[in-house]
Amino acid sequence: MLHGVDVSSYNTSYSVEGLDFVFVKATEGRSYINPHQKSQAAKARKAGCVVGFYHFLWPGSISAQARYFVEKCASVPGDILACDWERTGEGTSASNAQKDQFLVEVKKLRPKHRVMLYCNRDFWLHHDTTSYTADGLWIADYVSAGHPRIKAKWRIHQYTDQPLDKDVANFSSRTALKKWAHPA
């Protein structure tokens, strides 16, 4: 298992020691941009980590959100792009169809990037109806690292949020992850 973290604007001083990958929150909805995403990604790249960016999806304006994400995110070829699908602070969430549409739109806009779905176990088991994850599933389930309680194939498992969001990736090596992240 490979080790990584996912960070947002609150995690400006995270350590990259022992990490193989880092996901950085880039955008949310159609108005928020993480002001630290470039420096957070640069820190991960300097340490040789695979870098990913994620967008926190809100209901509505899905095509506009997809464009906003790919235009405002500090990604370079080989970075992974992800859709964070969960409840907003207002208690709402994008629908299953909107989640799928967002993933499809991002794949169209950035065909040379891997695109993933991030969601928690509850969303995967009780809200998802299509199992569409684009190129892979990043599942949050706070149990032993690498043992999420789902039957679906997963690529990344977020297993804790203490002291920050920690993840493992189901790849044999960092080289294997890098190779996967660069689709032909």
Domains identified in the chain and CATH numbers: 2-181 (3.20.20.80)
Query: Which one-letter DSSP state was computed for residue 164?
Result: S
- φ and ψ at residue 119, rounded to 5 degrees: -160, 165
| pLDDT at residue 89 is higher than 90 | no
C-alpha of 56 from chain center: 9
The size of the chain, in residues, is: 184
pLDDT of 85 > 90? The answer is: yes
The predicted model scores a pTM of 0.97
Q: How confident is the model at residue 80 (pLDDT cuts 50, 70, 90)?
A: very high
d(CA 27, CA 74): 10
Contact 73/27 with Cβ under 8 angstroms? yes
- Joined tokens for residue 25: 């929150």
Structure token digits, residue 129: 């109806």
Please tell me whether residue 103 adopts helix, strand or coil conformation: helix
The 8 Å CB, 24+ separation contacts for 104-107 are: 104/134, 105/62, 105/63, 105/66, 105/67, 106/55, 106/66, 106/69, 106/70, 106/81, 106/134, 107/134, 107/135
Q: What SS3 state is found at 52?
A: strand
3-state secondary structure of 71: helix
What pLDDT was estimated at residue 184? 66
Distance CA 169, CA 16 (A): 15
Question: What is the per-residue pLDDT for 162?
Answer: 93
